[in-house]
Structure 1
Amino acid sequence: MLFAFVCADKPGHLNVRMDTRPAHLEHLNKLNADGTLKFAGPFLDDEGKPNGSLVVVEAADLAAARALAEADPYYLAGLFETVEVKHWNWVFNKPE
């Protein structure tokens, strides 16, 4: 099953995002190598600066997806104001 993590950064925490980014990318690279990560990227504010994240993973169930979201270095560093984990169905432009 696919799950989307919709994450909003805490205001004024861009420095936390930038300081934690190498560990976050390492985490996502591992998920990608395992075949768990489907796609990911930041949301951007009006000035083009990151202010949140969208991550889509494959997981057995909601609990497993939530565990993946909570293992992200951004989450562990306290970057996010909110993290929604939602079961998601990829309908259009799904890769074969």
Structure 2
Amino acid sequence: MFAVICKDKPGHLEVRKANRDDHVAYLKSTPVVLAGPFLDESGGMNGSLVVIEQPDMAAAEAWAANDPYKLADLFENVTISAWNRVLG
């Protein structure tokens, strides 16, 4: 599994909202283990955490590159790390 950690560009909440339906549809159509937004101090969405099942890093990178949020240029940065579930 891989954890995909994304930080939104400042001031891009409207980009997130405009692409949310496509993003959620993408998540539902792919092997996602869990997903949800990061929140700022006021409760506004400002990033994403998605744990995906992929065979290797190249496949995880390809998955992240095809996320509608990424295609809409929402993210300031994206980090992908191999991840191992211990609990839950």
TM-score computed with the length of structure 2 as normaliser: 0.98
In the TM superposition, structure 1's runs of 4+ consecutive aligned residues that sit over 6 Å from their partners are none
User: Cα deviation per residue 1:4-52 (whole Å; 9 max; x = unaligned)?
Assistant: 0000000000000000001101111111xxxx11000000000000000
Secondary structure at 1:42's aligned position in 2? strand
Higher-Rg structure is: 1
1:63 to partner: Cα distance: 0.3
- Provide the residue aligned with 2:11 in structure 1: 12
CA distance in 2, matches of 1:57, 1:4: 7
Which structure 1 residue ranges, 5 or more long, are not aligned? none
CA RMSD of aligned residues (A): 0.5
User: How many residue pairs are counted as aligned between the two chains?
Assistant: 88
TM-score computed with the length of structure 1 as normaliser: 0.90
Among all aligned residue pairs of Structure 1 and Structure 2, give the percentage whose two residues are the same amino acid: 52
